Structure 1
Amino acid sequence: MKYYYDLHLHSCLSPCGSEDMTPANLAAMCALAGLEIVALTDHNTTGNCAPFCRAAAGHGLLALAGMELCTQEDIHVVCLFPSPEAALPFEDYVSAHLPQIPNKRDLFGPQIRMGDEDQILGEDDRFLAGSTDIPIYEVSGLVAEFGGVAVPAHIDRPSYSLLGVLGLWDPDLRFATAELSHNCPPDFSQRPDLAGLRLITSSDAHYLEQVWGAEHSMDLPDRTPQAVLDWLSGKVP
């Protein structure tokens, strides 16, 4: 069955995310947009995933927990897990590999942790959008070890993308799926080095008005977190 998705969304915990991007606001906007499968992917953290997933479920949406990992090479990778609880061990791992650089709130914006009623629980004082020391060649296998799936983000962009940094797609990276941005050139997906990859498109929304309508879909045997992960990992045609 066809399900409409957006697997790359930011909340107010991302320093570049709007303060209006609270878990409850974001979940409600996804529902209004007609989406059916969504994922919260803040920079290098899953800290707001639990309230977002619960709010999304209240609107009848299937929500996955995730983060947008920044690798040692400044490559962004969307990492998805079946639930906030399942993502916690990976969160701990990434936290240990994130430099303890303080966030410059006035320059980059606040990083706000929220509760189930959109109450402010506090701010993360670390600069979450910085690069970890995790190499890109380790990411696919590492995320799989933690029970998730990794998808290189917006590979058509010139910065913070796998192709922008490396210049070409290396099969040894072991990614089955890659993300294109909404403004990707029409012929970009025809690159020979992308042959055989599953290509998806998500919004990378940092503001409520950037959440798209029901535009991109996946065909799944059922609407479950594992079915989504299997589809992204290439186990489902």
Structure 2
Amino acid sequence: MRAYYDLHIHSALSPCGQNEMTPNNIVNMAWLKGLNIIAVTDHNSAENSLAVMKCAKEKGIVVVPGMELETREEVHLICLFKRIEDVLSLQDMVYNSLPDIKNREDIFGEQIVMDEEDNVIKHVERLLLTAANLSIEEAVSYVLNLDGVVIPAHIDRDSYSIVSNLGMIPDNPHFKFLEISKKCDKNPYINDEKYKGHKFIQSSDAHSLGEILEPVNFIELEEISAECLIETLGG
């Protein structure tokens, strides 16, 4: 069946995300737009994932536990999981690998953790918008050991992409899918010999509610679930 998706959404936990990106607002906007499956992928953290998952149950939307991890090479990787426990395990590893730099809210923005009723629980004090001391290889290995999947993010961009920073896609058999930006024409990538063997997804990288995707991109799944999505993206 077709599952309309947006697998790259930031909540108010990401310092670059707008404060309107609360768990309920994200879910309600995805529901209004007719999406079936979404992932909240905050920078180097997953502290709002459970709240979003709880909100989504009432709307019939599947929320995939996720994170946008920044590696030592300053490459952004979308990491998606079947279970909330697994993304929180990755979060522990990432938190232990981040530099001890305090967030400057006046410069970078707030990093807000909320519950399923959009109540503010806390502000994360350590800056999340920085590189963890983990290589791409180390990050991929850890995610795969948790039965997750890794998708190099926005490979068409001039910064924080695996192509811009490394000059190529590493010969990694686990990179089945690559992400390109929502406004990018994917045909040149599909037809480019150097991307042969890869498939592509397009997500919003939304930092505000209006940026969440309309139901234009879909993936064929046997059932709409986090488990089936991960198996499909990893297969």
TM category (shorter chain) comes to over 0.9
The AA in structure 1 aligned to 2:166 is L
Question: Secondary structure in 2 aligned to 1:118?
Answer: coil
Partner of 2:19: 19
Q: Distance in 2 between matches of 1:86 and 1:72?
A: 21
Q: Distance in 2 between matches of 1:107 and 1:159?
A: 20
Partner of 2:234: 233
**8 Å Cα contact 1:75-1:160 kept in structure 2:** yes
Partner of 2:117: 117
**8 Å Cα contact 2:70-2:131 kept in structure 1:** yes
Q: Distance in 2 between matches of 1:112 and 1:210?
A: 19
Question: Secondary structure in 2 aligned to 1:106?
Answer: coil
Q: Distance in 2 between matches of 1:231 and 1:147?
A: 12
The AA in structure 2 aligned to 1:30 is A
Q: Distance in 2 between matches of 1:189 and 1:135?
A: 27
Question: Secondary structure in 2 aligned to 1:159?
Answer: coil
Partner of 2:222: 221
Please state how far the C-alpha of 1:121 moved relative to its aligned partner: 0.4
Partner of 1:143: 143
**After superposition, where does 1:58-77 map in structure 2 within 5 Å?**
58-77=58-77
**8 Å Cα contact 1:46-1:88 kept in structure 2:** yes
**8 Å Cα contact 1:98-1:133 kept in structure 2:** yes
The AA in structure 1 aligned to 2:146 is F
Please state how far the C-alpha of 1:87 moved relative to its aligned partner: 1.6
The AA in structure 1 aligned to 2:22 is T
Please state how far the C-alpha of 1:142 moved relative to its aligned partner: 1.7
Q: Distance in 1 between matches of 2:138 and 2:91?
A: 16
Partner of 2:31: 31
Please state how far the C-alpha of 1:105 moved relative to its aligned partner: 0.5
Q: Distance in 2 between matches of 1:192 and 1:35?
A: 32
Q: TM-score, normalised by structure 1?
A: 0.95
**After superposition, where does 1:19-168 map in structure 2 within 5 Å?**
19-168=19-168
Question: Secondary structure in 2 aligned to 1:85?
Answer: helix
Q: Distance in 2 between matches of 1:156 and 1:138?
A: 23
Question: Secondary structure in 2 aligned to 1:88?
Answer: helix
The AA in structure 1 aligned to 2:210 is E
Q: Distance in 2 between matches of 1:83 and 1:55?
A: 16
CA shift digits 1:1-23 (9 cap, x unpaired): 11100110000000000000001
Q: TM-score, normalised by structure 2?
A: 0.96
Q: Distance in 2 between matches of 1:72 and 1:190?
A: 30
- Going from structure 1 to structure 2, the CA distance change for 1:173 and 1:157 (only over 3 Å counts) comes to farther
Q: Distance in 2 between matches of 1:147 and 1:102?
A: 32
Question: Secondary structure in 1 aligned to 2:172?
Answer: helix
Q: Distance in 2 between matches of 1:230 and 1:190?
A: 25
The AA in structure 1 aligned to 2:202 is T
The AA in structure 1 aligned to 2:217 is H
**8 Å Cα contact 2:189-2:195 kept in structure 1:** no
Q: Distance in 1 between matches of 2:209 and 2:226?
A: 24
Q: Distance in 2 between matches of 1:141 and 1:175?
A: 12
- Going from structure 1 to structure 2, the CA distance change for 1:172 and 1:84 (only over 3 Å counts) comes to closer
Question: Secondary structure in 2 aligned to 1:164?
Answer: helix
**8 Å Cα contact 1:156-1:188 kept in structure 2:** no
Question: Secondary structure in 2 aligned to 1:175?
Answer: coil
What percentage of residue pairs aligned between the two structures are identical? 38
Question: Secondary structure in 1 aligned to 2:210?
Answer: helix
Question: Secondary structure in 2 aligned to 1:12?
Answer: coil
The answer to whether residue 198 in structure 2 is matched with residue 197 in structure 1 is yes
